[in-house]
Homo-oligomer: A and B are copies of this chain.
Amino acid sequence: MTARSKQKLRLWLQMLKATKHVENEVRANLRRDFATTLPRFDVLAILYKSGEGLKMSELSSQLMVSNGNVTGIVDRLVADRLIERVAIKGDRRATLVRLTDRGRQQFGHMAQEHEGWIATLFQDLDAREMDAASALLAQIRELS
């Protein structure tokens, strides 16, 4: 292995640590301010963006961490009346999952707070540095 690949490995471990650090902060803040969890927040965020709702298979594939327990999370969000299951016309076997009005309102509030937490965690970065970081990350994403 070369010095170049060692540098890449160090950068990856640094990136992983920074990401876990921010995730842990978000997780702690969600618990403290909303008595909720990151997987619940992630499910609500995906459904919020989807607008019309998603099939369970679509929801699962959009969750970035493979989570065997999506069904359990959805069941509890339904019980809390934050999301609901609705029939799909012309497809008797599948249902859509979507936010209720109550869920949309609650998530809107959480998303606003979340944006503030991230802004605080990233406070030292100026616009030019963020453009540079974004360009670098795009290069990693393009590979696979």
Residues of the B chain whose Cβ atoms lie less than 8 Å from the Cβ of A25: 144
Cα A20 to Cα B12 with chains together (Å): 12
Interface residues of A in 116-144 (CB under 8 A from B): 116, 118-125, 127, 129-130, 132-134, 136-144
> Is A31 part of the binding interface, using a Cβ–Cβ cutoff of 8 Å?
no
Partner of A115, one of B9, B120, B144: B9
Partner of A5, one of B7, B18, B64, B118: B118
Residues of the B chain whose Cβ atoms lie less than 8 Å from the Cβ of A115: 1, 5-6, 8-9
Find out whether the CB atom of A141 lies under 8 angstroms from the CB atom of B17.
yes
- Chain A residues with a Cβ under 8 A of chain B: 1-2, 4-12, 14-25, 64-66, 112, 114-116, 118-125, 127, 129-130, 132-134, 136-144
